Amino acid sequence: MIEMQDVWKTYPDGTHAVRGIDLKVNANEFVYVVGPSGAGKSTFMKMIYREERPTKGQIFVNGFNLEKLKPRKIPYVRRNIGVIFQDFRLLPKLTVYENIAFAMEAIEAPKKLIKKRTLEVLDLVGLKNKVASLPTQLSGGEQQRVAIARAIVNNPAVIIADEPTGNLDPETSWGIMNLLEEINYRGTTIIMATHNKEIVNTIRKRVIAIEKGVIVRDQARGDYGYDD
């Protein structure tokens, strides 16, 4: 599903964020990415959906070599990847419904399907009664659920979630985790960076620990392993 071969990332200012990562993630896996702040977790994830490009090395997503891909083809690879952010990144002027439908319009899905599928995912995240609300009228947890709905609406093979519960209270965080588990259960690979010890230690999954840009631990059904 996702494979990295000796991937390095040095930012233009000289920061070495990632220094030689080798990794394989299979379809339908759920992977936590943990590690101290500034370790390179976000950089590692951004390279998967090509917001950042590696300075060196190869990345394969769904069989495509991202480094060899023509720029024209990038959008089509991205359609296999759903991204969820700590700060939700919803469009403030669009309603809940529009925010989600937007992701389907962007890939030119047929109109009928857009309506059907959008309502379907809204139902899945439990926000069917909020279709006409604006993001500012929602709680943090509700906004994150809209973001998740947007990420899954195009049926991506992988979901990349960078601290999806980072801005949420514990109870809401558990709700979001249930949702992600459900999505994973339905067949979507999930890679999630997190600082939430309790979640990692309770919902046991594969854990990858990154420190100073390298993988220092890769553990099936692992634990969080830090005391922060």
Ligand X SMILES: Nc1ncnc2c1ncn2[C@@H]1O[C@H](COP(=O)(O)OP(=O)(O)OP(=O)(O)O)[C@@H](O)[C@H]1O
Interaction of residue 43 with Mg ion, rule CB under 5 A:
no
**Three-state DSSP class for residue 203:** coil
Interaction of residue 154 with Mg ion, rule CB under 5 A:
no
Which option in Mg ion, other proteins, ligand X, none does residue 118 bind, with CB closer than 5 to 8 A by kind?
A: none
Q: What is the contact surface with other proteins in residues (CB under 8 A)?
A: 49, 51, 72, 75-79, 81-83, 89, 91, 93, 102-103, 105-108, 110-111, 150, 154
Which option in other proteins, ligand X, Mg ion, none does residue 75 bind, with CB closer than 5 to 8 A by kind?
A: other proteins
CB of 82 to other proteins, least distance (A): 8
Q: CA–CA separation, 35 vs 48, rounded Å? A: 18
Which residue of 18, 23, 42, 103 would you call a contact of Mg ion, by CB under 5 A? 42
Q: Which is nearer to ligand X, 38 or 187 (by Cβ)?
A: 38
Q: Are 214 and 196 in contact (CB under 8 A)?
A: no
Q: Which is nearer to ligand X, 42 or 154 (by Cβ)?
A: 42
Helices assigned H by DSSP within the chain: 41-48, 74-78, 96-106, 111-124, 140-152, 170-185, 197-202
Q: What is the DSSP string of 176-201?
A: HHHHHHHHHHTT-EEEEE---HHHHH
Which option in ligand X, Mg ion, other proteins, none does residue 40 bind, with CB closer than 5 to 8 A by kind?
A: ligand X
- Positive or negative, the CA dihedral 200, 155, 90, 135 is negative
Q: What is the contact surface with ligand X in residues (CB under 6 A)?
A: 11, 13, 15, 17, 35, 37-43
> How is residue 147 written in tokens?
């973001």
The pairing of strands 206-211 and 30-34 is: parallel
CB of 72 to ligand X, least distance (A): 25
Place of tokens 């009664």: 129
CB of 136 to other proteins, least distance (A): 14
Interface residues toward Mg ion, by CB under 5 A? 42
